[in-house]
Amino acid sequence: MSSINEIAKQFVEYYYQAFDADRRNLAPLYRPMSMMTWENISLKGADAIIEKLTSLPFQRVAHKITTIDAQQSLPGVNAIIILVTGQLLVDEETKPQQFSQTFQLVEDSGFFVYNDVFRLNYA
């Protein structure tokens, strides 16, 4: 399990550093068969996902990760499901928003994001 948790930790650190710096840098993590649900909007394919992420209506974002949980998934395939919770600040906001994001990574000459589900957690 420690290798799964280590892969998950490394992925999450890379993903949010890239997201916060320049969302276009996330493109290599997605493939044509990748799927994302972003607040009820379903997207398929790396191009559509990156177009959505780069068109989000903020210039700056900072993620603070609270938890990372990971499990092996899909018997017979090297795949990992990751649940992330945390906070994010956009642009000039001073009150962080809570979020959760779930990734399913599948190995194919390196891991890629097969599934990605993002949701703000409204209180």
| pLDDT single digits (tens) 36-48 | 999 999 999 999 9
Q: Give the C-alpha separation, 48 to 26, whole Å.
A: 12
Task: Provide the CATH number for the domain around residue 18.
Answer: 3.10.450.50
CA distances from 10 to 29, 80, 95 (A): 13, 13, 27
Torsion of the alpha carbons at 48, 52, 55 and 61, rounded to the nearest 10: -140
What is the pLDDT of the chain when averaged over all its residues?
A: 94
% the chain with pLDDT above 90 = 87
Report the domain count for the chain: 1
24 lies in which domain range? 2-120
Whole-prediction pTM: 0.93
